[in-house]
A and B are shown apart, each in its own frame.
Chain A
Amino acid sequence: AQKVTQAQTEISVVEKEDVTLDCVYETRDTTYYLFWYKQPPSGELVFLIRRNSFDEQNEISGRYSWNFQKSTSSFNFTITASQVVDSAVYFCALSEDNQGGKLIFGQGTELSVKP
């Protein structure tokens, strides 16, 4: 069965530290998609990235980078030089090719960046 695990419930760092949020997934499908969303204190869900199962190339967008490793079923998210505005709950999610658009979310990691 499909499942997403974010083992880190809460992380607290000081501004300018690097931080990595872990995501491990389970699926039997060979075609699937992985996502990261950010939920700031205001409550909305903001899309960050989508990755398909055939593209293991790592991606960097500014201070954000993502490491996708099929061998360990992981899709980790690193924020470099964290800022207070990065404080939010971050969700990893999985969708499988035969499940319509259904997203399976992890439990989320609450990141607190202190000045």
Chain B
Amino acid sequence: DSGVTQTPKHLITATGQRVTLRCSPRSGDLSVYWYQQSLDQGLQFLIQYYNGEERAKGNILERFSAQQFPDLHSELNLSSLELGDSALYFCASSGPQGGAGDTQYFGPGTRLTVL
């Protein structure tokens, strides 16, 4: 158990809908990362927050947004969902620097299925 929690574990929804994925980092970690894992794209970095501020951004679609709250938990919002958004979404956390040298610990993931 990495100490990173993600809810829900599974999510099934329809095209055009909007969902919110939630992540709680390990105790003491200030940085939260979101990754998408799909068969065709592999593991792709989406976005990083450090202590409430956006720190790095990957190829995150405009339909996707994220934020980190004062209690350091994070939410990833996916809207206007398409079939191709079906994937496993991971959250990871690290501390204390939120930089390249930090080890990221991953949550169990949320499996999103868009029908």
Q: Are A47 and B100 in contact (CB-based, < 8 A)?
A: no
User: Is the CB of A41 closer than 8 A to any CB of chain B?
Assistant: no
Please name all residues of chain A whose beta carbon is closer than 8 Å to the beta carbon of B44 when the two chains form the complex: 105
Q: Say whether B106 contacts A45, CB under 8 Å.
A: yes
Name the CB-closest residue of A to B9. A43
Chain A's nearest CB lies how many Å from the CB of B33? 6
A104 interfacial by beta-carbon distance below 8 Å: yes
CA distance A32 to B99 in the complex (A): 10
Number of A-B contacts (CB under 8 A): 79
Q: A91 an interface residue at 8 Å Cβ cutoff?
A: yes
The contact of B48 among A97, A101, A107, by CB within 8 Å, is A101
The size of the chain A interface, using a CB distance under 8 A, is 28
Is B105 positioned at the interface, with any CB of A under 8 Å from its CB? yes
For A31, give the chain B residue with the smallest CB separation: B100
A67→B112 CA distance, assembly (Å): 37
Residues of A within 8 A of B104 (CB): 35, 47, 101, 103
Given contacts A43-B88, A43-B109, A107-B42, contact A100 B101 (CB under 8 A): no
Identify 10 new A-B residue pairs, CB closer than 8 A, beyond the known A35-B103, A101-B56, A102-B48. Answer: A37-B106, A44-B108, A45-B109, A47-B106, A50-B103, A101-B33, A101-B50, A101-B94, A101-B102, A102-B45
- Enumerate chain A interface residues (CB-CB to B < 8 A): 31-33, 35, 37, 43-47, 50, 52, 91, 93, 95-108
Nearest 7 pairs of A and B residues by beta carbon: A100-B56, A45-B106, A105-B43, A95-B100, A100-B55, A102-B45, A97-B100
